[in-house]
Amino acid sequence: MKRGGLVSFVGAGPGDPELITLKGLRRLREADVVIHDRLIPGEVLEQTRPRVEVIDVGKAPGRPCLGQGEINRLLVDRGAGRRHVVRLKGGDPTIFGRLAEEIEAVRTAGLAFEVVPGITSATAAAARAGISLTERGSSSTVVFATGAVHGNRKALALDWDLLAHTGGTLVFYMPVGRLESVTASLTSLGRDPREPAILIERVGVVGERVIAGRLGDISERGRAAGVAAPALLITGPTVAAASEPATVRRVASHLAGVSDG
Ligand code: SAH
């Protein structure tokens, strides 16, 4: 017998308020408590019932954020007493979202949980740039990798040799700050520096930008453009078809009003 309520881990999508599933929206409308990350559109948060407790645990520059342990404790605390907690996470909860740790906390506390998928920023970015992540003949694999280093490990724990030779499409989440080392690791092990690559910043939110280049110069271009998080690096043969940044910017101007909170 489960002792408490239900925790629904819901993917909110990458920031465009229309990119949340109907199931996710329904959970949000039923929730007693909402615990959310940053970059959740205001329009989505407005879907909650009146007087629902809404807790922002997101990390933002210059603002205090909660540590993972505190988030886990909050989930367990609010999930007790038969309440329905929605843990709203950016993109898809199963991709670089520390979901396993949160599930573990909830499960250990004897609470029921479910996961409602969301649109991950990689597929939203591909959609915005007008590219396919796979293509018959040229890209039959897609790798979602992180450019971030955790703990006190100095190097990224990635099999660079494999990534350099796998062909297909590589998507790096959290690449800002490590563009040089990510791209140099790939090209020094034999990935073609002329391969088309793009950086996509703030997919689906105000300030969306696409910076296009090649694997060998995208880090320099990103630096020159002052690219900042959240952004993705996508490299691979199918990226050649990416739309001009101007086209994407024009579409993005219709999204004014989407908040970053
Ligand atoms: N669970 C999320 C990823 C969390 S890790 C997902 O499925 O998308 C956070 C990283 O995701 C950011 O550093 C960035 O690389 C990427 N990201 C998330 N939202 C983004 C957006 N709107 N535009 C560009 N990148 C985004």
Q: What is the CATH number of the domain that holds 232?
A: 3.30.950.10
- Clarify whether residues 166 and 253 are in a common domain: yes
- Clarify whether residues 255 and 126 are in a common domain: yes
Name the nearest CA neighbour of 209 among 184, 236, 176, 181.
176
- Clarify whether residues 131 and 231 are in a common domain: yes
CA atoms within 13 A on the CB side of 22: 0
- Clarify whether residues 102 and 125 are in a common domain: no
Name the nearest CA neighbour of 28 among 13, 42, 49.
49
Within a domain: residue 1?
no
- Clarify whether residues 31 and 127 are in a common domain: no
Q: Distance from the CA of 122 to the center of ligand 1, in angstroms?
A: 8
CA separation, residue 236 to residues 39, 103, 171 (Å): 27, 34, 9
The number of distinct structural domains making up the chain is 2
Within a domain: residue 147?
yes
DSSP code of residue 62: T
**Ranges in the chain, pLDDT < 70:** 1-3, 59-64, 149-156, 244-261
Q: Distance from the CA of 1 to the center of ligand 1, in angstroms?
A: 36
Q: Kindly report the pTM of this predicted structure.
A: 0.90
233 lines ligand 1 (CB under 6 A): no
- Clarify whether residues 72 and 126 are in a common domain: no
Domain that holds residue 20: 6-116
So which residues are the catalytic ones?
Answer: 37, 59
96 lines ligand 1 (CB under 6 A): yes
Question: Can you give the pLDDT at residue 164?
Answer: 96
Q: Distance from the CA of 158 to the center of ligand 1, in angstroms?
A: 19
Q: At what angle do helices 218-225 and 179-188 cross, to 10 degrees?
A: 170
13 lines ligand 1 (CB under 6 A): no
Is residue 88 within 8 Å of residue 95, measured between CB atoms? no
229 lines ligand 1 (CB under 6 A): yes
- Clarify whether residues 237 and 190 are in a common domain: yes
Which of 72, 88, 116 is the C-terminal boundary of a domain? Answer: 116
- Clarify whether residues 28 and 157 are in a common domain: no
> Measured over all CA atoms, what is the biggest interatomic distance in the chain, rounded to whole angstroms?
58
- Clarify whether residues 110 and 141 are in a common domain: no
Q: Which among 94, 102, 173 is the best mutation to test ligand 1's pocket, defined by most ligand atoms within 8 Å of the CB?
A: 173
- Clarify whether residues 72 and 146 are in a common domain: no
Question: Can you give the pLDDT at residue 245?
Answer: 45
Ligand 1 atom with least separation from CA of 205: 22
Question: Can you give the pLDDT at residue 147?
Answer: 76
Which of 116, 143, 166 is the C-terminal boundary of a domain? Answer: 116
Within a domain: residue 59?
yes
Question: Can you give the pLDDT at residue 150?
Answer: 62
Which of 116, 140, 167 is the C-terminal boundary of a domain? Answer: 116
15 lines ligand 1 (CB under 6 A): yes
Q: Which among 38, 121, 259 is the best mutation to test ligand 1's pocket, defined by most ligand atoms within 8 Å of the CB?
A: 121
Question: Can you give the pLDDT at residue 75?
Answer: 96
Locate all alpha helices (DSSP H) within 53-212, ordered by sequence: 68-79, 99-108, 121-129, 160-165, 179-188
- Clarify whether residues 144 and 248 are in a common domain: yes
**Hey, how many other C-beta atoms are within 10 angstroms of the C-beta on 199?**
25
Q: Which residues contact 9 (CB under 8 A, 6 or more apart)?
A: 87, 89, 93, 99, 102, 103, 113, 114, 115, 116
Q: How open is the CA angle 90-149-73, to the nearest 5 degrees?
A: 50
Q: Residue 52 belongs to a domain with what CATH number?
A: 3.40.1010.10
Ligand 1 atom with least separation from CA of 15: 22
